[in-house]
Amino acid sequence: MTTHITHLIGGRSWEGGSERTGVVHNPASGAVTGRVDFASAGLVGEAVATAKAAWTGWAGTSLAKRAQVLFAFRELLNARKHEIAALITAEHGKVLDDALGEVTRGLEVAEFACGIPHLLKGGFSENASTRVDVYSIRQPLGVVAVISPFNFPAMVPLWFVPIAIACGNAVILKPSEKDPSAAVAMARLWTEAGLPDGVMNVVHGDKEAVDALLTHPDVRAVSFVGSTPIARYVYETGTAHGKRVQALGGAKNHMLVLPDADLDLTADAAVNAGFGSAGERCMAISALVAVDTIADELVEKIKDRMRKLRTGDGTRGCDMGPLVTRQHRDKVAGYVGEGSAAGATLVVDGRAGDFDGGEDGFWLGPTLFDDVTPDMSIYRDEIFGPVLSVVRVKSYDEGLALINANPYGNGTAIFTNDGGAARRFQNEVEVGMVGINVPIPVPVAYYSFGGWKNSLFGDTHAHGTEGVHFFTRGKVVTSRWLDPSHGGLNLGFPQND
Ligand code: NAD
């Protein structure tokens, strides 16, 4: 028995059927559990037209009424977060606690967006010139698209959607076709919260749907999150079609451990950040850069902790779930083979494991490599699985140079008790999000999330005030109420007096 997952356009489930569909699995059993409709370019056009028609009314809705809808959505999401988390575990595979954690972090963005009346306040300069006032306002863009990855089916859409809606836009969300149900469930909550039909829409699909959004003349902005090659493509295609685009890409996050760090706490952090969500997090630590003198001891401590991890079905209280698809599982296992062949020391091999789940689940246990060097594919590539690589360096400077030479720049962390070294690192490292003794430094909702280099294409980061900026455009008004002192002819460029 499989579920049928379809588009939500204008507040209603699409009833028109679909020429193309995709399959959704339960990664813990390997079974096909759902079939998701894929939108054609024509259907995307219908969704955009519906959103555009709804947009005018929503853009004209008062800030007070918009905030009421946001508050209602926040309450509904909080009340239903366990249901959403269960959908995530069933289609993504991550353990229930972790799924709940991502909904909760997304909820924080909805809470931030409740403050939209304050966030949209402009500036006002009285008497900028004699009896002339100047003020700034920010207005919505129109129809905006959000295209999200499989690894955070709730949190990533929530980085963008509440802010886009609060700013007065209409949204088309294209979630990952691998785990699309959470997006649909959350979209229904907007309707329950009182959002007018058509302001929030969900279309499912693959490249065809994405291309249709990137090229549609009525889509004004695109927020994308996914792998680097697709992020680059989305940025280039969207901007070539006149759109504002923020495209967040892949990552290779390093954790630099200095000799003075508390090695027990560091080992805990490395295991949590390396294997949480089976390493399928854009902020997962995948390269642990250890200054040589402490590397042996640290590797031992990490190995000890890994022995205690239980990998299995996310509904059974395990620590780590399966990978999202069989294809992805095999790709990650392939990297483990490549790492061994290239000469890295395979300290813990996750391919051989005991898994608490279905025989056909997409299993791969936590894996640890030591003596990894920068030329190896396990170091160079974003693996996006439970594989932690230890790279040994001689000094802080060598570690910093390694991190800065990496083409990605999403997140990084330093573990040390030396405040001066930490301060130097935060200043010198070329990465967008930095943790000091914090292994996964995902910024809180009122700051903005975004990496540097190949981890983000575009200028604006997600959520926080940068998110408000992205989903609005600025206007500056220069105003005077005419009186006789303003008379007379003068063809010169206006000067302030
Ligand atoms: P992906 O790039 O395969 O897919 C992302 C989205 O793009 C999906 O909606 C997918 O349907 C669509 N897509 C896939 N192929 C496409 C194509 N050829 N043309 C147009 N659209 C296409 O990414 P994923 O595997 O779903 O997610 C994992 C990736 O996302 C990792 O690289 C991870 O680092 C990255 N990620 C980054 C962040 C960040 O904040 N930087 C956050 C989460 C995930």
> Average pLDDT in the 250-272 region?
98
> Average pLDDT in the 21-46 region?
98
**For 254-279, what is the HEC assignment?**
EEEECCCCCHHHHHHHHHHHHHHHHH
Nearest atom in ligand 1 to the alpha carbon of residue 226 is 30
Q: Which domains does the chain have, with CATH numbers?
A: 3-249+455-478 (3.40.605.10), 253-436 (3.40.309.10)
For the stretch 315-358, pLDDT in tens is: 999 999 999 999 999 999 999 999 999 999 999 999 988 999 99
Q: Is the pLDDT of residue 496 over 90?
A: no
The confidence band for 464, taking pLDDT boundaries of 50, 70 and 90, is very high
Among protein residues, the one with the nearest Cα to ligand 1's atom 40 is 248
What is the reported pLDDT for 71? 98
> Average pLDDT in the 166-170 region?
99
What is the reported pLDDT for 17? 87
Q: Is the pLDDT of residue 485 over 90?
A: no
> Average pLDDT in the 11-20 region?
95
What is the Cα–Cα distance from 455 to 282, expressed in whole angstroms? 9
Q: Tell me if 202 CB under 6 Å of ligand 1.
A: no
For the stretch 52-91, pLDDT in tens is: 999 999 999 999 999 999 999 999 999 999 999 999 999 9
In the reported structure, the alpha carbon of residue 292 is separated from the centroid of ligand 1 by a whole-number distance in angstroms of 35
Q: Tell me if 174 CB under 6 Å of ligand 1.
A: yes
Q: Which residue has the higher pLDDT, 486 or 401?
A: 401
In the reported structure, the alpha carbon of residue 96 is separated from the centroid of ligand 1 by a whole-number distance in angstroms of 22
What is the reported pLDDT for 486? 84
User: Catalytic positions, please?
Assistant: 282
What is the reported pLDDT for 497? 83
For the stretch 98-138, pLDDT in tens is: 999 999 999 999 999 999 999 999 999 999 999 999 999 99
What is the reported pLDDT for 292? 86
Q: Is 17 left (phi over 0), alpha (psi -120 to 50) or beta?
A: left
Instruction: Determine how β-strand 219-225 pairs with β-strand 244-248.
Output: parallel
> Average pLDDT in the 395-407 region?
98
Q: What's the pTM value of the predicted model, to 2 decimals?
A: 0.98
In the reported structure, the alpha carbon of residue 55 is separated from the centroid of ligand 1 by a whole-number distance in angstroms of 27
What is the Cα–Cα distance from 493 to 187, expressed in whole angstroms? 51
- Whole-number percent of the chain with pLDDT over 90: 97
Q: Tell me if 92 CB under 6 Å of ligand 1.
A: no
What is the Cα–Cα distance from 148 to 248, expressed in whole angstroms? 10
What is the reported pLDDT for 460? 97
- Whole-number percent of the chain with pLDDT over 70: 100
What is the reported pLDDT for 10? 98
Q: What integer best gives the mean pLDDT of the chain?
A: 97
